Each structure stands twice: as structure tokens, then as C-alpha cells.
Amino acid sequence: MSSDSPPLVFEHVGKRFGDTVVLADVHFRTEPGELVVLVGPSGCGKSTLMRLVAGLETVSEGSIFAGSRKISELPPHERGVGMVFQSYALYPHLTVRENLAFPLYVKKASQEEQDREVRRVADMLSLGPLLERLPKQLSGGQRQRVAIGRCLVRKPDIYCFDEPLSNLDAALRSQIRVELKSLQRDLKKTTIYVTHDQIEAMTMADRIVVLHKGVLQQVGTPEELYLSPKNTFVARFIGSPSMSLIRGDVEEGRFKSGELVVPLPVRSGATIVGLRAEDVLVSPDGPLSGVVKSVEPVGETGYLHLEVAGMRLDPASLGAPGSATETPRAPLLAASIPGRDAFACREGTVVRFSIREGRAHAFDPDSGEALARGSAAREES
């Protein structure tokens, strides 16, 4: 991507609040003009990392660079960073026009420049008819556009978005998500975007940074994280529904857990195999069977959650990944089916299925780190 926006470089960045370590040895770099999404569960440190970029917090260790400039030592107003907050942060007594112009007013820009930039941004974000309204007269999506516009008039080198869609309903989130992605492509500005929503991350990002308990887990494209997760946390967090993690043993290059056998070129012993829902193939002639415990008909695709005799799911997959209190649930295997079939399926039904060859993931049961990808087939008797 051709861009005059500088890359961001994080060199072994750490942040502590007293004795509490919030971020530990975060080390990666963005490309110029890239949209990088920081994602992870609540408390993982993603918003803190963004605040370090903007200068709202100071680093405890390491450095942050924008190109060759060491911005971690600069005051916020000298960093060239514009930020859009989750709460919009609009002035309720000012009109849309006045809110948009406010950053230029503070800089003592001429009235002509203020009017010109407000018109430019209003045209870009379709805010023209709303310029004389107060924030209380706007919808949530319109308020978010004004907050983004106020950032745009500053013409920063780098943009930071702190969960900007979390206050919007599902339909509006989808619409604004598309608009934001298109806007970022047009601006070609390096952008850091924070969200707890992995679907938002997958659909918007050039690359994703996954954090958990202040530790960087993986950096990669959405495709890389989905197809080649580095550990069980990323495997569970990226993708909906989460990857099913199955415990078993490898003997002579074959993983076994109940009836399931997966050829795996890894060392013998205890192993975790991960399966995506689309790789669990429901068909009448499948060699395996399971009882439908839950059905999710979500549109074109639906999901079955199957209870399978003989399979042992990893305890780490028995709750929401990274949640403060992982709520136990029954060991269920997720399978995707056509949406129309999901509407017709009933809980308690016994279905047969197979495992798609070559799509199983293997993880170390102690560290959770990825070992290999393999193929799956039923053991021949």
C-alpha cells in the first residue's frame, strides 16, 4: 500500500500500574498506511497499548516510533495522532459544524480554513444536512460519524479508534464497519483499531494483533490467524464458533480420541487436536455420530453443537476464551451446516459426520503452542 503515513514500531513495550503488569514486552511493527486491529478479551491490554500510542499513558519500558520519530517521549499534541473514542466525546452544546471545527478553532486556524475543512469532511462523511444539529438530535451512527470527522479535520499522521462501534446496534455496526474500512483505504493512513469483537477484527484488518493478559499472542493477517493459529488461545479466540479442542494421544503418527483418528506427524504422547466447525462434515454416511445438543440457525450457515461419545474436549475449550471466569459447559463439537438444514434440525437428533482431511490442528497439551496440521480419517477396523 502506497502511503505517506509512517509505520508504527513497538520495541519491547511494557506498561505497569504499580506492581500490576498490564503489558509485557510487546514487540511488532506496522506497515505504512496499514489498518492494524488490536483484539483480545477485556483486560488484555489492548486499550492501554493504544493509549500509549496517543500519549494518554506513558510507557514503563521500551519505545514507540512513528517512522524514525520516537513518539513515546513526545507530548500528545506533538505525536501527530488522532483518536476516536468509544463514547464519541462530542460537546453537547455545540452544533455538528462547531464540533467538527473545534480542533481547528483550538489551533487558531482562520475562519476560512475552518469552513473549508468542515465542508470537506462533511462531504466525505455525508454530514452536510446535519451541520446545524446538536448531538442530542443525532442517531448513534450519526454521532459516531461526527466523532470521526472531528478527528479527520486535524489531518493526523496516525489514527486510533478505541472500540468506536461498541455502542451501536448490530445492523448499524455492520454498516459503519464497511464505511470505516472504505474511508481508511481512501485516506491511506496508518490506523490502530481496538475491539473485543473478533468478527470486527477479521472483517476490517490488514493485520491483527492478538493480546491476552498483556502478552502478545500472534500478529498476522486474518487468514493467517484463522488457518494457522500459533496457540490454543488464538485458535479459540479467532473464529466463530470457536475451534473445538480435543484431547487425546498420538501413537505411531496417529492421534486417537475415542473413534476419531487423525494422522499427525508429531511426537507420540498426549496431544490436543483443533477442529473448525466447517471441517466437521455432517452427512448421512459419516463414520462418526453425535447427539445435537444445540442449534444455531444464523442465516445462510447454521451451526450444530454435538455431544460425541468417546471424545475428550480440552478443559481450555469449556468456556469463553480469556474470560475472567470461564463458565464450564458440556464438551460439545461444533459443526457447520446449510442454514435451511439448521432451521429443520432439532435438539436430541443423532447425526452422522466425518472430519475433513488435512485440516486438523495439533497443539502441545502443556504449553498450548501449535505443533502441526494434519489430516483426519476414521480408524479402519
Q: How many CB atoms lie within 10 A of CB 72?
A: 19
pLDDT at residue 274 greater than cutoff 70 = yes
Q: What is the reported pLDDT for 311? A: 76
User: 292-341 pLDDT, tens per residue?
Assistant: 999 999 888 999 999 887 778 776 654 445 443 343 445 689 999 999 99
pLDDT at residue 374 greater than cutoff 70 = no
Query: Looking at the domain 8-227, which fold is it?
Result: Rossmann fold (3.40.50)
Q: What is the reported pLDDT for 328? A: 40
C-alpha count within 13 angstroms, C-beta hemisphere, residue 30:
30
CB contact at 8 A, 337 and 282: yes
The better pLDDT of the pair 197, 331 is held by 197
The CA-atom distances, in angstroms, between 240 and each of 73, 181, 185, 301, 316 are 40, 21, 26, 12, 16
The contacts of residue 365 (CB under 8 Å, 6+ apart) are 247, 270, 271, 272, 314
**Average pLDDT value over all residues in the chain:** 88
Q: What is the reported pLDDT for 331? A: 65
Q: Return the closest-CA partner of residue 38 out of 208, 160, 159, 161.
A: 208
| Residue ranges per structural domain of the chain | 8-227, 232-378
User: 73-129 pLDDT, tens per residue?
Assistant: 999 999 999 998 877 788 999 999 999 999 999 889 999 999 999 999 999 888 999
User: 138-167 pLDDT, tens per residue?
Assistant: 988 888 889 989 998 988 999 999 988 887
Among the ranges given (65-69, 340-344, 363-367, 377-381), the one the predictor scored with the smallest mean pLDDT: 377-381
pLDDT at residue 378 greater than cutoff 60 = no
Q: What is the reported pLDDT for 379? A: 36
Q: Return the closest-CA partner of residue 125 out of 161, 150, 91, 160.
A: 150
Please give the model's pTM, rounded to 2 decimal places: 0.86
Distance of CA 67 to the CA centre of its chain: 25
Place of cell 450457515: 301
User: 211-227 pLDDT, tens per residue?
Assistant: 999 999 999 999 999 99
User: 159-192 pLDDT, tens per residue?
Assistant: 999 988 887 777 778 888 888 898 899 889 999 9
Tell me the CA end-to-end span of the chain in Å, nearest whole number. 54
Determine the Cα–Cα distance for residues 128 and 118; give it in Å rounded to an integer.
Answer: 9
The contacts of residue 110 (CB under 8 Å, 6+ apart) are none
